[in-house]
């Protein structure tokens, strides 16, 4: 079975509004390109107890979760430590992470025209970014070689930890998808077809929606109400979505049902994610 996909975004800067979250739309895009969808997203500030509780819930599930942010080694980075607490294990220096970080030390020294000095205090501190929960697997970082990591929980969940910087996080998430989720990809074309319905109430249209889903179990019905749309005003966007070959029949049955209902229908829309 395809797991539910979740997203956890860590950082006070998002909740305070200092930075706008870019991860949510990008993860939706990366999943959609593979025929997958995001089931939920959680935002949590730099508060160790809350981060730990959030990760405990993730590890207790059987979901596939991506966690962005807080895996550095500054005082406001808590995600690595919280992951270890959530798994009830120790942080240990991962040997592959150590090797990658030492490569990064050498790169920095070359960029600065200096001889590498692994015992310099800032270099010793950098190794803390390779301390992951025991048993973790690394996620390569093509931007600066400082890896992320993946851990599996008792419930079967796999949580992938990446930095908060989009330039690093997004290729790392894509790598994790290709490495760990390829069996769940469903890249056959999907289609959404919908219509703007004026003046109707969702409750009145619910029996029709339920009937369409019963008649076409592989297709999902969706209803998006709006009260102040700049063009259509108060309306409902009512439609069906699913595998492209199966959508037309459900769409025709939906339109027949709306006609029988006497709905006041406006423009029709087609989307192919």
Q: Looking at residue 102, what is its pLDDT?
A: 93
> Going by CATH, does the domain composed of 190-271 fall within 3.30.70.1120?
yes
Q: Is the dihedral of CA 99, 105, 108, 110 positive or negative?
A: negative
Instruction: Summarize pLDDT for 233-258 with one digit per residue, the tens.
Output: 889 999 999 889 999 999 999 999 99
Contact 149, 81 (CB under 8 A): no
**Which segments of the chain belong to CATH 3.30.70.1120?**
190-271
DSSP 8-state code for residue 2: P
The token duo for 160 is 């992938």
* Residues 17-75 pLDDT 10s: 999 999 999 999 999 889 899 999 999 999 999 999 999 999 999 999 999 999 999 99
pLDDT at position 273, please?
62
Going from the C-alpha of 204 to that of each of 122, 199, 222, 245, the distances in angstroms are 65, 11, 14, 29
List every span in the chain annotated with CATH 3.40.980.10. Answer: 5-184
CATH architecture under which domain 5-184 falls: 3-Layer(aba) Sandwich (3.40)
Tell me: the pLDDT tens digits for 142-199? Answer: 999 999 999 999 989 999 999 999 999 999 999 999 999 999 997 777 899 999 999 8
User: Once rounded to an integer, what is the mean pLDDT over residues 8-19?
Assistant: 96
Is the model's pLDDT at 122 over the cut of 90? no
Rounded to two decimals, the pTM is 0.81
For residue 138, the tally of other CB atoms under 10 A from its CB is 17
State the average pLDDT over residues 204-227: 95
- Where residue 211 falls among pLDDT bands split at 50, 70, 90? very high
Least confident interval from 98-102, 110-114, 150-154, 211-215: 110-114
């Amino acid at each position: 079975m395809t797991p539910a996909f979740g997203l956890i975004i860590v950082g006070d800067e998002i909740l305070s509004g200092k930075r706008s979250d870019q991860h949510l739309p990008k993860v939706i895009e990366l999943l959609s390109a593979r025929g997958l969808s995001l089931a939920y997203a959680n935002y949590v500030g730099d508060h160790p107890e809350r981060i730990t509780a959030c990760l405990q819930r993730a590890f207790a599930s059987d979901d596939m979760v991506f966690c962005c942010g807080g895996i550095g080694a500054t005082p406001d980075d808590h995600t690595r430590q919280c992951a270890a607490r959530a798994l009830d294990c120790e942080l240990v220096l991962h040997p592959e992470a150590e090797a990658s970080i030492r490569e990064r030390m050498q790169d920095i020294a070359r960029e600065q025209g200096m001889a590498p000095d692994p015992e310099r205090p800032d270099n010793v501190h950098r190794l803390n970014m390779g301390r992951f929960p025991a048993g973790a697997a690394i996620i390569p970082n093509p931007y600066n070689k400082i890896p992320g990591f993946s851990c599996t929980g008792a419930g079967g969940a796999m949580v992938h930890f990446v930095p908060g910087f989009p330039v690093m996080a997004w290729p790392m998430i894509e790598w994790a998808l290709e490495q760990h989720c390829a069996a769940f990809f469903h890249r056959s074309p999907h289609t959404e077809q919908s219509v703007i319905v004026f003046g109707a109430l969702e409750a009145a249209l619910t029996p029709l929606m339920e009937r369409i889903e019963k008649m076409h179990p592989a297709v999902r019905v969706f209803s998006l109400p709006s009260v102040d749309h700049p063009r259509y005003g108060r309306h409902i966007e009512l439609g069906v979505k699913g595998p492209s070959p199966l959508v037309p029949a459900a769409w025709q049955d939906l339109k027949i049902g709306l006609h029988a209902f006497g709905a006041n229908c406006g423009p029709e829309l087609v989307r192919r994610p």
